[in-house]
Amino acid sequence: MSNNKKWAPTLRRVLTGAACIIACSFTAPASIAAAPKKAATAPAQQQQRPRNIIFVLVDDLRYDGMGFLQPGLLKTPNIDRMAKEGSYFPNAVVTSSLCSPSRATILTGQTARNHGIVDNNDSSEAGLTYFPSYLQQTGYNTAFFGKWHMGSETDGPRPGFDKWVSFKGQGNYWPAKAESAHSSPNLNVDGKAVPQQGYITDELTDYAMNWLQKERDPKKPFFLYLSHKGVHSDPLPPPRYAHQYDKARFTLPASAANTPQNNEGKPVWVRNQRNSWHGIDFFYNADVPMTEYLKYYYGTLSAIDDSLGRIMDYLRKNGLDKDTLVVFTSDNGYMVGEHGLIDKRNAYQASVRVPLLVWEPGTIPAATVNEGRIRNLDFAPTFLDVAGAARPERFEGKSAWALWEGKQAAKDWKPGDFVYEYYWEYNFPMTPGTFAIERDNVKYIQYYGVWDTDELYDLNTDPDEMHNLVNDPAWAAKKQELRVALYQQLADRNGRHNIPYSARLSIGAVRRDIDGPRAADFPADWYVKPNPVDRLDPILPDSPAKLKAQAAGKPLIYTPPLSEELTRQVQGSAKP
């Protein structure tokens, strides 16, 4: 995924303790989702004992947003302890870097082109089955606490969960003052409206702890899904962490600077996005510098770290630590200025990479950095494998349980190409439809429906994606190989290549800073004088013959000036 060799010594030192600081509306309609069908494929290995599972999902946490990766700056003692006692996966990725599509992939074990949840707007969940339903069939108690934000806008209980606590849309860090189309002062607790009492991270954790301690059936294994609102914008830390990072000095990535060197080879849309809702120069159409914003972002993360600590302490004190698998991750990455961009959606590394920690003392290797690439597509089959449940035919991912246990070496873990899909959404029109594929640590990116360049990066030597190789003749064969593979693998289960989209209901976040930079220019080599003799070549598929002609400075197909060609054809003259 990226070159992590430079990180490995530091990570292992931190994870073994050298630098690690350790501190001990409402009911969903019946048609919203389908009942689970009988799974068709037997699990890879039946477990000797039922294993509890806790899945903690953070919203918009970037891949390096943990204390052990930024020692001396970030304070996440419980996350760090989890890393020290478990395994860290630096190459975890999401197949769509956006809340709803990513969450749907986690829950259904399918890609966006198959589950159909392609943006954050209201959409149908009809026909979808969520993997906790299969856990219920094997005797698990299941519970969901937090942000659903996937498919239908209702906050009502979904199939697959015995216990349900959620909220409308993005929810609120503190109770809303009034009901609105997109917000509510209430939580939905098992189909009933219950007023939100306080800070959302703490309150969700209170509900989760109460279920663990008093409500679940102690005779059954359990699956707990804790889905935090934090650290989604606009992040609000609780009072105890409001000033935690007042003196911290955050720095932006080198590629955040608007320089010719950074812009070289980048698409026009990337440069145009700098001055927009998702650009570093005008992000969220506000004037708070990212270096200040991160103080709130990581202060908000500290409350999530507290939440994780409460859960882990409960497991240890009640003798459940060696029987409970805990997984900590994020729904998507988060950019803080890389290439002049912020937030997510695109296929760059900081957008698609997510944190991933896996913990179960005695089973999951401790203080381990595992290079195996895990996709959000792989969680559902892994959890069913852990539970000894059969795998549904529609699952597209692969169980990583043997890798997590340390029984399979990372070099032998072969999940296949990493294929990425993002479908343009009208709300945030500054990011085009984006498709990408990564094979052998080489990433190819293309954009749908825009007049722009595609991209190719050798992540082995260029992990920050600074040198676009898409027009380098030495990489032409690899580019074409990945183009073909990307198209093949983007077919849905019926072999179709459809572009889904939802209704456009507004113009979207199109505003730009009046004093900011204007629209970017096209690449210099796109500008030519009229009547080039290779006029048809850019339209034709790339091929060895075409590349050979280009290298020789000749057209593949000679095309005379249009006026001459028209005159020739009209007059019936001889060939030129």
- Neighbour-count burial of 412, counting CB atoms closer than 10 A to its CB (0-12 exposed, 13-18 middle, 19+ buried): exposed
Is residue 112 one of the residues assigned to a domain? yes
Is residue 378 one of the residues assigned to a domain? yes
pLDDT at 248 exceeding the cut of 50? yes
Mean per-residue pLDDT for 209-224? 98
Is residue 384 one of the residues assigned to a domain? yes
Neighbours of 87 (CB within 10 A): 24
Query: Using 50, 70 and 90 to split pLDDT, how confident is the model at 24?
Result: very low
Is residue 489 one of the residues assigned to a domain? no
Residue 383: which H helix or E strand, with range? helix 379-387
Q: What's the pLDDT score for residue 189?
A: 98
Higher-scoring residue by pLDDT: 125, 569? 125
What is the DSSP code (8-state) at residue 390? Answer: P
Do 69 and 176 share a structural domain? yes
CB 378 within 8 A of CB 397: yes
Alpha helical stretches, state H, 51-150? 77-85, 99-108, 112-115, 132-137
CB 169 within 8 A of CB 153: yes
Q: What's the pLDDT score for residue 49?
A: 61
* Separation CA 149–CA 163 (nearest Å): 17
Query: In the listed set 416, 448, 479, which residue is the last one of a domain according to the structure?
Result: 416
Is residue 63 one of the residues assigned to a domain? yes
Query: In the listed set 400, 416, 432, which residue is the last one of a domain according to the structure?
Result: 416
Is residue 57 one of the residues assigned to a domain? yes
Q: What's the pLDDT score for residue 46?
A: 46
Q: Can you tell me which residue has the tokens 């690449």?
A: 523
Q: What's the pLDDT score for residue 15?
A: 53
* Separation CA 132–CA 227 (nearest Å): 14
Q: What's the pLDDT score for residue 535?
A: 86
Query: Residue 576 to residues 174, 293, 562, 566, 567: CA-CA distances in angstroms?
Result: 76, 64, 12, 12, 11
Q: What's the pLDDT score for residue 25?
A: 35
Which token pair is 363? 């089973």
Q: What's the pLDDT score for residue 31?
A: 35
Is residue 444 one of the residues assigned to a domain? no
Do 556 and 410 share a structural domain? no
Is residue 176 one of the residues assigned to a domain? yes
Do 278 and 153 share a structural domain? yes
pTM: 0.90
| Average pLDDT across the chain, whole number | 91
Q: What's the pLDDT score for residue 390?
A: 93
Check which CATH number belongs to the domain holding 134 and give it.
3.40.720.10
* Separation CA 173–CA 509 (nearest Å): 23
Question: 356 is in which domain, residue-wise?
Answer: 52-416
pLDDT at 141 exceeding the cut of 60? yes
Query: Using 50, 70 and 90 to split pLDDT, how confident is the model at 185?
Result: very high
Query: Residue 216 to residues 162, 169, 321, 370: CA-CA distances in angstroms?
Result: 9, 27, 17, 33
Mean per-residue pLDDT for 395-424? 97
Mean per-residue pLDDT for 249-258? 98
Torsion of CA 159, 402, 359, 464, to 10 degrees: -100
Smallest CA-to-CA distance from 122 within 508, 430, 423, 502 is with 502
Query: Using 50, 70 and 90 to split pLDDT, how confident is the model at 223?
Result: very high
As for how many domains the chain has, the answer is 2
Mean per-residue pLDDT for 97-123? 97
Do 234 and 350 share a structural domain? yes
Query: In the listed set 397, 416, 435, which residue is the last one of a domain according to the structure?
Result: 416
Share of the chain above pLDDT 70, in %: 91
Which token pair is 224? 């707990």
Do 405 and 519 share a structural domain? no
Mean per-residue pLDDT for 157-186? 94
Higher-scoring residue by pLDDT: 565, 20? 565
Mean per-residue pLDDT for 538-566? 88
